[in-house]
């Protein structure tokens, strides 16, 4: 029988870390709503810094064109950019390995996936981590409406879902240049970010939302700006509410619509179902979703209140089996279990990171910041545990530990250190029978006990 | 093979007592008959391919005015197919196949999915092969798996999903394996057995591990030759680095289809062309073209017995949007290839593109269920009966008249 303290770390944190005391399960929310210590210890660059770096990178590439030392300059610029991205991955891993506030990391991963952005167009290059740092992370224990505004109106999201190209066809600039709408952001905003698919909105709502979003664009390639001259004139009706219609059009109308969307019961249910799905089970207990949805609506979308209700519910502490960890989570919890020093991870070179994190995660099915589309990564366990992905996880479990630690622990002690009272009898039995320490440690890290949360 | 079976036997008999005989691991692989010689490859084009741009109905007067920024018809380099449709130049490397009758298309097709235009539900419905109204639900199995369920003698080698992702289209009760080129399980026999043991009580892990062992053995011989940590690491990173390319995936599918596989499926992305479609669709078409050409080259003489169906979740808007792209639509196109195909034709009833003829006044109107083409292909390749196709494999489908897809 697994204790609550152990489960709290495994299911809602980033896993057990040998030698660290197990905090009380009740401490999860206190830490989450307290200061973000690990972000201070391992800081990341903000978006403005990264956007300028991306623009500098692109202008270096342009300047190198035709120059005598062009190829060397281009290679140098690419190396600098590659190193920056690799450092971001290293720091993101190090935070998860170091943190005593693992719920904040887990929620940051969850919401970054909910508001997925992918690609390297213009200032997105090397800046996705900064988008998450600026728009997502500060709000994981705050109000969803604020996160929604921050994410939807962020230059990275605007670029990813083509909003800067969407012009009201009857706006001043639309009429002058024959430009028109692009529905991409409007559709995903309703389908993925708020209400959820099949929740009752129509193609007309999508179209009206697209019209309302016109005017949002980018200044200097990296700052969100609202241009009334691009905004479709006249009011828009979305889910029966009227927005827009002011002359000149204003961003306040968009903000009002986003806040209204955040307060909708469809949104509450969609988000709470996803959270339960992520932390607890793919066949969620209806009671816990109901309770969280009620807390969401009552608190005006306070995400800490929602998590507090989840953690207070019996369904949160079911003995298992829990959800399969996603590859990033798996790698973080593995490094944590092995007692790898977080500073070593944060300082690792690009080649190393590639070998023990980046490429193995690709083989496990999760290219870092490389989801297939705006819906992010999969929800179902079978999508993570299929033969080729399991082979990659087993390969990681067998090969990486002996690389990260000069002397591997005794497998029997390791099982207790990284799983506590959660290590099953069969696993203890098998670990003790491994031929080598590396294989014993590998078997533990490759076990369902460790791969599930 | 023998080594695997023996080890399984030892492990199972030692640990599980006599339940071994009921285990799916004991499917007598070597004795299973191969279900015929014909091959079917299904490529899922994720992101909604714009059929109106790939197989351009340039003879329809409503097309060009709706897409002022696009290159349309033979005048801009598309290849004239029949005086009405023209092939996007991004597929020009497939022209010899068209001339040989090994390439064909069906236009104005769709799944039963309507109105909501979500990629994710649309793709699920395409792979599940079910009726309208089942979107958004959890699907137990995909239509290729339900086809396999009707084939006696299907083994784990018969059907293969290639790539890094699990494929709904092949998920289900019938055996099939999902594998990625260069994936490999490299374990000592003892470790492999211990892992088999700890996965025993978790069906998800148990099944995936059994398949991983099976395919590693099939491709690389007995797993006994376990590499050291450095070697494993190198293999893992090498594999991850190159296994995702279209050529690697198509080559691997072809290699397995030349051996015992008869069904293969993989997906190609990059079709969600909301912006700058003139450039972006060329990249996606390049991958499709490469996939078909590599399959043809890799299959050699078996290409003559092969049909390739490249299907997408839905089409795109008739009208170009504000950023040189198109938004989510309805009616789509199906790309077919293969030596078994009676191609060189564009199949389907053309609904016209005038506004009144459009779906929802914005999208190409579907005139036939894309599942009907897949069903007729399976009937022709594998002799599957009509009632099986309409009731079990594609529930609720009316196959309609035989379009005569195959030679």
Q: Which stretches of B212-324 are assigned E, i.e. beta strand?
A: 263-268, 306-312
| Residue A237 bridge partners (DSSP) | A242
Band (pLDDT 50/70/90 cuts) for residue B181 is confident
pLDDT tens-place values along chain A, 453 residues long: 688 999 999 999 999 998 887 878 789 999 999 999 999 999 999 999 999 999 999 999 999 988 888 899 999 999 999 999 999 999 999 999 999 999 999 999 999 999 999 999 999 999 999 999 999 999 999 999 999 999 999 999 999 999 999 999 999 999 999 889 999 999 999 999 999 998 999 999 999 999 999 999 999 999 999 999 999 999 999 999 999 888 889 999 999 999 999 999 999 999 999 999 999 987 778 899 999 999 999 999 999 999 999 999 999 999 889 999 999 999 999 999 999 999 999 999 999 999 999 999 999 999 999 998 999 998 889 889 999 999 999 999 999 999 899 899 999 999 999 998 888 899 999 999 998 999 999 999 999 999 999
- At residue B366, does pLDDT exceed 80? yes
**Averaged pLDDT score across all residues of chain B:** 87
For A391, nearest residue in chain B (alpha carbons): B185
Mean pLDDT calculated for residue range B356-381: 97
A174 interfacial to chain B (CB closer than 8 Å):
yes
Of A45-59, B240-254, B380-394, which gets the smallest average pLDDT?
A: B240-254
Residue ranges of the alpha helices (H) in A189-325?
A: 203-213, 251-263, 265-279, 286-298, 303-312
Nearest to B103 by CA among B113, B88, B115: B88
Q: What percent of chain B has pLDDT over 90?
A: 70
CA distances from B260 to A261, B154, B254, B263, B279 (A): 53, 10, 11, 9, 39
**Cα separation, A162 vs B275, whole angstroms:** 7
A360 interfacial to chain B (CB closer than 8 Å):
yes
Q: Report residue A164: phi and psi, to 5°.
A: -70, -10
Give the model confidence (pLDDT) of B97-138 as tens digits.
999 999 999 999 999 998 888 888 899 999 999 988 777 677
Cβ–Cβ of A403/B233 closer than 8 Å?
Answer: yes
Partners of B283 on chain A (C-beta within 8 Å) are none
To the nearest whole angstrom, how far is the Cα of B253 from the nearest Cα of chain A?
A: 15
Looking at beta carbons, which pairs linking A285-290 to residues 24 or more positions away fall under 8 Å? A285/A313, A285/A315, A285/A318, A287/A313, A287/A315, A288/A313, A288/A315, A288/A316
B205 interfacial to chain A (CB closer than 8 Å):
yes
Cβ–Cβ of A394/B212 closer than 8 Å?
Answer: yes
Give the torsion sign (CA, A79, A356, A404, A87).
Answer: positive
**Cα separation, A248 vs A288, whole angstroms:** 45
A183 interfacial to chain B (CB closer than 8 Å):
yes
**Size (chain B), residues:** 407
Which H or E element spans position A120? none
Give the model confidence (pLDDT) of B289-329 as tens digits.
999 999 999 999 999 999 999 999 999 999 999 899 999 99
Cβ–Cβ of A398/B232 closer than 8 Å?
Answer: yes
A167 interfacial to chain B (CB closer than 8 Å):
yes
To the nearest whole angstrom, how far is the Cα of A214 from the nearest Cα of chain B?
A: 11
Interface of A with B in 375-434 (CB under 8 A): 375, 378, 380-383, 385-392, 394-396, 398-400, 402-403, 424, 426-427, 430, 433-434
pTM of the entire predicted model? 0.86
Residue B55 CB neighbours (<10 A): 24
Interface of B with A in 139-158 (CB under 8 A): none
Which H or E element spans position B299? helix B277-299
For B360, nearest residue in chain A (alpha carbons): A203
Nearest to A215 by CA among A253, A177, A178: A253
**Cα separation, B101 vs B121, whole angstroms:** 34
Considering only CB atoms, B239 lies closest to which of A206, A363, A380, namely A363
Partners of B138 on chain A (C-beta within 8 Å) are 380
Considering only CB atoms, B216 lies closest to which of A169, A391, A439, namely A391
Give the model confidence (pLDDT) of A24-34 as tens digits.
878 999 999 99
Sequence ranges of the domains in chain B: 1-31+186-242, 39-181+243-393
Which H or E element spans position B161? strand B159-162
Q: Left if phi > 0, otherwise alpha if psi is -120 to 50, otherwise beta: which for A376?
A: left
Nearest to A186 by CA among B70, B274, B332: B274
CA distances from B84 to B63, B108, B317, B337, B355 (A): 11, 14, 20, 20, 19
Q: What percent of chain B has pLDDT over 70?
A: 86
Band (pLDDT 50/70/90 cuts) for residue B229 is low
Residue B370 CB neighbours (<10 A): 26
Give the model confidence (pLDDT) of B62-101 as tens digits.
999 999 999 999 999 999 999 999 999 999 999 999 999 9
**Cα separation, A140 vs A302, whole angstroms:** 9
pLDDT of residue B239: 64
Partners of B121 on chain A (C-beta within 8 Å) are 197-198
Q: Are B309 and B377 in contact (CB under 8 A)?
A: yes
pLDDT of residue B216: 87
CB within 8 Å of B230: residues ≥ 6 apart: A399
Which H or E element spans position B390? none
Q: Which stretches of B273-327 are assigned E, i.e. beta strand?
A: 306-312
Cβ–Cβ of A430/B164 closer than 8 Å?
Answer: no
Cβ–Cβ of B195/A394 closer than 8 Å?
Answer: yes
Give the model confidence (pLDDT) of B198-224 as tens digits.
999 999 999 999 999 988 888 887 544
Nearest to B273 by CA among B288, B285, B264: B285
Cβ–Cβ of B237/A451 closer than 8 Å?
Answer: no
Considering only CB atoms, A162 lies closest to which of B194, B199, B275, namely B275
Q: Are A302 and A143 in contact (CB under 8 A)?
A: yes
- At residue B52, does pLDDT exceed 50? yes
Tell me whether 0.90 is exceeded by the ipTM: yes
Cβ–Cβ of A324/B171 closer than 8 Å?
Answer: no
Cβ–Cβ of B211/A174 closer than 8 Å?
Answer: no
Structure tokens at A205: 């709502």
Partners of A400 on chain B (C-beta within 8 Å) are 233
**Cα separation, B145 vs A375, whole angstroms:** 25
What CATH class has B39-181+243-393?
alpha beta
Partners of A363 on chain B (C-beta within 8 Å) are 164, 180, 183, 236, 239-240, 243
Considering only CB atoms, A427 lies closest to which of B198, B212, B320, namely B198
Considering only CB atoms, A166 lies closest to which of B46, B320, B322, namely B322
- Strands lying side by side in the sheet with B86-87: B55-56, B86-87, B79-80
| Residue B347 bridge partners (DSSP) | B106
CA atoms lying within 13 Å on the CB side of residue A408: 24
A324 interfacial to chain B (CB closer than 8 Å):
yes
pLDDT of residue A39: 97
Partners of B328 on chain A (C-beta within 8 Å) are 183, 187
Partners of B224 on chain A (C-beta within 8 Å) are none
pLDDT of residue A196: 95
Band (pLDDT 50/70/90 cuts) for residue B57 is very high
pLDDT of residue B183: 83
Partners of B179 on chain A (C-beta within 8 Å) are 387-388
B369 interfacial to chain A (CB closer than 8 Å):
no
Interface test mutation site (partner A, options B145, B238, B319, B321, max chain A beta carbons within 10 A): B321
3-state helix, strand, coil split of chain B in percent (to 5) is: 45, 15, 45
B121 interfacial to chain A (CB closer than 8 Å):
yes
Residue B46: cis peptide before it, omega within 30 degrees of 0: no
To the nearest whole angstrom, how far is the Cα of B343 from the nearest Cα of chain A?
A: 32
């Amino acid at each position: 029988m697994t204790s609550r303290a152990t489960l709290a770390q495994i299911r809602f944190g980033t896993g057990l870390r040998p030698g660290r005391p197990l905090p009380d399960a009740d401490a999860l929310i206190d830490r989450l709503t307290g200061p973000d210590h690990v972000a201070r210890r391992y800081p990341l660059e903000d978006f403005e810094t990264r956007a300028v770096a991306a623009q500098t990178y692109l202008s270096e590439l342009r300047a190198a064109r035709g120059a005598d030392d062009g190829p060397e300059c281009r290679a140098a610029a690419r190396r600098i950019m590659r190193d920056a991205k690799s450092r971001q991955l290293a720091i993101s891993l190090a935070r998860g390995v170091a943190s005593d506030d693992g719920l904040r990391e887990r929620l940051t991963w969850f919401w970054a996936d909910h508001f997925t952005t992918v690609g390297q167009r213009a200032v997105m290059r090397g800046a996705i981590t900064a988008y998450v740092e600026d728009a997502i992370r500060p709000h994981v224990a705050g109000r969803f409406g604020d996160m929604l505004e921050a994410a939807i109106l962020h230059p990275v999201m605007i670029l990813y879902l083509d909003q800067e190209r969407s012009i009201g066809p009857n706006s001043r600039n639309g009429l002058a240049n024959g430009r028109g709408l692009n529905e991409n952001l409007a559709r995903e905003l309703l389908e993925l970010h708020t209400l959820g698919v099949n929740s009752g909105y129509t193609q007309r709502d999508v179209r009206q939302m697209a019209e309302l979003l016109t005017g949002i664009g980018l200044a200097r390639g990296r700052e969100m700006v609202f241009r009334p001259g691009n905004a479709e004139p006249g009011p828009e009706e979305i889910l029966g509410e009227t927005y827009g219609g002011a002359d000149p059009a204003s961003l306040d109308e968009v903000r009002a619509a986003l806040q209204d969307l955040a307060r909708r019961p469809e949104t509450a249910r969609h988000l709470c179902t996803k959270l339960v799905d992520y932390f607890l089970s793919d066949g969620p207990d209806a009671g816990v979703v109901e309770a969280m949805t009620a807390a969401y609506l009552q608190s005006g979308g306070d995400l800490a209140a929602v998590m507090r209700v989840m953690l207070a519910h019996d369904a949160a502490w079911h003995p298992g089996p829990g959800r399969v960890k996603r590859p990033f989570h798996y790698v973080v919890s593995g490094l944590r279990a092995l007692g790898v020093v977080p500073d070593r991870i944060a300082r690792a070179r690009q080649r190393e990171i590639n070998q023990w994190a980046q490429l193995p995660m690709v083989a496990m099915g999760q290219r870092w910041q490389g989801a297939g589309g705006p819906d992010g990564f999969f929800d179902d366990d079978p999508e993570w545990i299929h033969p080729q992905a399991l082979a990659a996880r087993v390969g990681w479990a067998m090969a990486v530990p002996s690389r990260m630690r000069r002397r591997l622990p005794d497998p029997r002690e390791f099982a207790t250190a990284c799983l506590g009272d959660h290590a099953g009898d069969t696993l203890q039995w098998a670990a003790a029978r491994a031929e080598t320490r590396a294989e014993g440690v590998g078997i533990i890290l490759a076990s369902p006990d460790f791969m599930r949360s | 093979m023998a080594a695997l079976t023996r080890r399984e036997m030892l492990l199972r008999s030692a640990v599980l007592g006599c339940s071994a005989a009921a285990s799916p691991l004991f499917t007598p692989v070597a004795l299973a008959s191969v279900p015929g010689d014909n091959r079917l490859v299904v490529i899922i084009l994720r992101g909604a391919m714009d059929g109106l741009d790939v197989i351009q109905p340039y003879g329809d007067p409503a097309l060009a005015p709706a897409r002022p920024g696009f290159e349309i018809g033979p005048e801009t380099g598309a290849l004239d197919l029949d005086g009405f449709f023209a092939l996007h130049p991004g597929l020009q490397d497939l022209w010899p196949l068209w001339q040989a009758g090994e390439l064909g298309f069906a236009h104005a097709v769709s799944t039963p999915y309507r109105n909501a235009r979500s990629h994710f539900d649309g793709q699920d419905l395409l792979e599940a092969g079910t009726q309208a109204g089942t979107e958004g639900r959890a699907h137990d199995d995909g239509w290729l798996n339900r086809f396999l369920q009707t084939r006696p003698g299907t083994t784990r080698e018969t059907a293969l999903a290639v790539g890094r992702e699990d494929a709904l289209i092949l998920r289900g009760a019938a055996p099939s394996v999902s594998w990625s080129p260069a994936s490999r399980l490299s374990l000592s026999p003892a470790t492999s057995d211990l892992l088999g043991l700890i996965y025993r009580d978790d069906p998800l892990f148990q099944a995936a591990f059994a398949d991983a062992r099976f395919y590693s053995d099939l491709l690389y011989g007995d797993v006994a030759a376990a590499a050291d940590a450095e070697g494993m690491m190198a293999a893992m990173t090498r594999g991850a680095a190159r296994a995702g390319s279209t050529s690697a995936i198509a080559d691997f599918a072809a290699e397995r289809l030349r051996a015992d596989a008869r069904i293969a499926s993989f997906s190609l992305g990059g079709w969600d062309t909301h912006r700058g479609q003139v450039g972006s669709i060329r990249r996606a078409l390049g991958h499709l073209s490469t996939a078909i050409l590599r399959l043809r080259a890799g299959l050699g003489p078996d290409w003559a017995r092969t049909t390739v169906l490249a299907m997408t979740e839905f089409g795109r808007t008739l009208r170009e949007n504000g950023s040189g792209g198109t938004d989510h639509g309805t009616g789509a196109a199906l790309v077919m290839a293969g030596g078994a195909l009676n191609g060189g034709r564009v199949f389907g009833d053309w609904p016209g593109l005038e506004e009144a003829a459009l779906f929802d006044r914005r999208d190409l109107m579907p005139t036939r269920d894309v599942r009907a083409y897949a069903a007729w292909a399976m009937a022709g390749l594998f002799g599957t009966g009509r009632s099986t196709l309409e009731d079990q494999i594609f529930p609720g489908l009316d196959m309609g008249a035989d379009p005569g897809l195959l030679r």
